[in-house]
A and B are shown apart, each in its own frame.
Chain A
Amino acid sequence: KNQVEQSPQSLIILEGKNCTLQCNYTVSPFSNLRWYKQDTGRGPVSLTIMTFSENTKSNGRYTATLDADTKQSSLHITASQLSDSASYICVVSYKAAGNKLTFGGGTRVLVKP
């Protein structure tokens, strides 16, 4: 069964600190892996997208890594800001059936001043 699991489920960090979110997946065949940010009451917004051959991708203070051999990805947030408080969702694209996306349950990040 194609699955995407994220850890931790939730995280509280102080403003200015760094944090790392984890994603493990079993989706196969794999097309690409995406990280989305979902603010409360809004739709997800794409942060990064990585194909099989890429092992790191940055978007400002967000850096995603991918190890396709171990089927793991991480999202690192540097120098967190209050506006980083959101859910971060790992999404893996299944290379069939119209590149269907399989979503993880997300990690809720709360940045405190």
Chain B
Amino acid sequence: DTAVSQTPKYLVTQMGNDKSIKCEQNLGHDTMYWYKQDSKKFLKIMFSYNNKELIINETVPNRFSPKSPDKAHLNLHINSLELGDSAVYFCASSLLGNEQFFGPGTRLTVL
């Protein structure tokens, strides 16, 4: 299936831990994104990579570090998790400037 996929779908962890979320797209897109959707359902851009180069880096704590090993993958590593990091994280991809296709989301719960 052609799609944007994320793993894991659910992640429950303790405060202070380090965790990673993985994203892969097989749509041939050149741009990938990470969004955070908070409890009020607003989606906010965190990072965007175009051809493995960081092009959008919003005001996000440096505990969050994206890594793009190739155009089809964009992973998100989070250090020293805090309660406020609990949210749904969405990966998306597009051809630059065009329609974005979203993954199914990863629901992160920090206890």
List residues of chain A with CB under 8 Å of any chain B CB: 31, 34, 41-46, 49, 87, 89, 97-101, 103, 105-106
Contact = CB atoms under 8 A, between A and B. Distances in A.
A37 to B, nearest CB: 11
Contacts of B43: 44, 89, 103
B56 interface: yes
Interface of B: 4, 31, 40-45, 48, 50, 55-56, 90, 92, 96-97, 99-105
Contacts of A97: 55-56
Contacts of A46: 99-101
21 contacts: A34-B99, A43-B4, A43-B102, A43-B105, A44-B90, A45-B102, A46-B99, A46-B100, A46-B101, A89-B43, A97-B56, A98-B55, A98-B96, A99-B96, A99-B97, A100-B45, A100-B56, A101-B45, A101-B100, A103-B43, A106-B41
A45 B56 CA distance: 22
Contacts of A31: 97
Contacts of B102: 43-45
A46 B103 CA distance: 12
A6 to B, nearest CB: 10
B34 to A, nearest CB: 12
Contacts of A106: 41
Contacts of B99: 34, 46, 49
Contacts of A44: 43, 90, 102
B26 to A, nearest CB: 16
